[in-house]
Chain A
Amino acid sequence: METVLRALFIYLVLLLIFRLAGRRTLMQMTSFDFVLLLIISEATQNAMVGNDYSITTGILAIVTLVGTDIALSHWKHRSPTVERWLDGLPMIIVDNGELLKPRMDKERIDEQDILAAARQGQGLERMDQIKYAILEVGGGISIIPKR
């Protein structure tokens, strides 16, 4: 029982922390972000299984995490309100070529992030080629070019 409760608690705490941290956290996946993610997973593992290294405990923790994730995705699918609060909604950050700075600042996005997304996704060269930039739920930036 303890393993299931520990895994469930860790899942909810991680969900809360990453939601509070904002959707851009760990999104860029620099090499340091990758190392940070590994360190977090190590700390999480210790909190979940303690000193018990048995296969049973490992399987119970994995099943609890995956099961909770499935249950939560069902809940989000049935309730748009839950989905909005847990995942957020997309948000326009460039509107007809105009940078919406207050929104960008709140989400810690600068012009360079938008230009990088435009280069990577659309092969665009300049800001004036962008019609819309949208901060997606997952933290990525999608670009709609001017036609």
Chain B
Amino acid sequence: MASIPPIGDLEIHQDLDLQHRTWTLQHMGRAAMALLIAMALSGLFGSGPWARTTVTDSQNLLQIEYDRFGRYEGDLWLQFTIAPGAIHDDRVTLWMDRAYWTGFAVEHITPEPDRSDTGFDGFTYFFSAETRLAPVVIVFRLRPESLGLLDARIRLNDHISIRFGQLIYP
């Protein structure tokens, strides 16, 4: 084994060059950690001011409030606000694209749908909606079971469609 050159009386393996490089990396790493905390506080990892947003169709009949960012096996919710003008025959049907919807486990739906159907390209939920004066609000509580960018495609009563993206973190 190569002998270690002594420093004074000490036989010690000191490398100040490496130490300085380590300090520089540590400073950069600590700055990255501070940035990560700031991003988390702003809601970029879910739950925060930037975490939720709304999207509305061109006729202003359907509004969806959703989480931009979710976490694998965390909690997400989608809130649908449906204007009275979009309700026909006291019924509301919501269709979710199969590729999007299979990324979630549906934990709870408020109100409960009358029934649901599975089609070749998506899932359809049928709700009773007798109100003609106030908007109908439907909330889906979901648990993400896939990762990455999800392309949400949703249709109301087969003629109003909305598309948005959600990012699910590991």
A interface residue numbers (CB < 8 A to B):
16-17, 19-22, 50-51, 84-85, 88-92, 95-96, 103, 106, 131-132, 134, 144
Chain B residue nearest to A96 (CB atoms) is B8
Please state if A17 and B33 are interface contacts (CB–CB under 8 Å).
yes
Q: Complex: how many Å from CA A51 to CA B29?
A: 31
Query: In angstroms, how far is the closest chain B Cβ from the Cβ of A99?
Result: 15
Q: Mark the stretch among B11-19, B77-85, B89-97, B149-157 that contacts chain A.
A: B11-19
Given A19-B26, A85-B22, output 10 extra A-B contacts at Cβ < 8 Å.
Answer: A20-B25, A20-B26, A88-B19, A89-B14, A89-B18, A89-B19, A92-B12, A95-B8, A132-B8, A132-B9
Q: Which residues of B contact A90 (CB under 8 A)?
A: 12-14
B45: min CB distance to chain A, Å: 13
* Interchain CB contact under 8 A, B10 and A92: yes
Majority secondary structure, A binding face: mixed
Within 8 A of A (CB), among B9-47: 9-10, 12-16, 18-19, 22-23, 25-26, 29-30, 33
Nearest 5 interchain pairs by C-beta: A20-B29, A89-B15, A20-B26, A106-B23, A89-B13
Q: Which residues of B contact A (CB under 8 A)?
A: 7-10, 12-16, 18-19, 22-23, 25-26, 29-30, 33, 73
Which A residue sits closest to B10, measured CB to CB? Answer: A132
A134 CB contact (under 8 Å) in B10, B26, B29: B10
Chain A: minimal CB distance from B70 (Å): 15
Which of chain B's residues have a CB closer than 8 A to the CB of A17?
33
Residues in B whose Cβ lies below 8 Å from that of A19? 26, 29
Q: Separation in Å of the B131 CB from the closest CB of chain A?
A: 38
A88 CA to B22 CA, complexed, in Å: 8
Task: Please give, as numbers and ranges, the residues of chain B lying within 8 Å of A89 by CB-CB distance.
Answer: 13-15, 18-19
B73 / chain A contacts, CB cutoff of 8 Å: 50-51
* CB within 8 Å for A134 and B12 given contacts A20-B25, A20-B30: yes
> A138 CA to B3 CA in the complex, in Å?
22
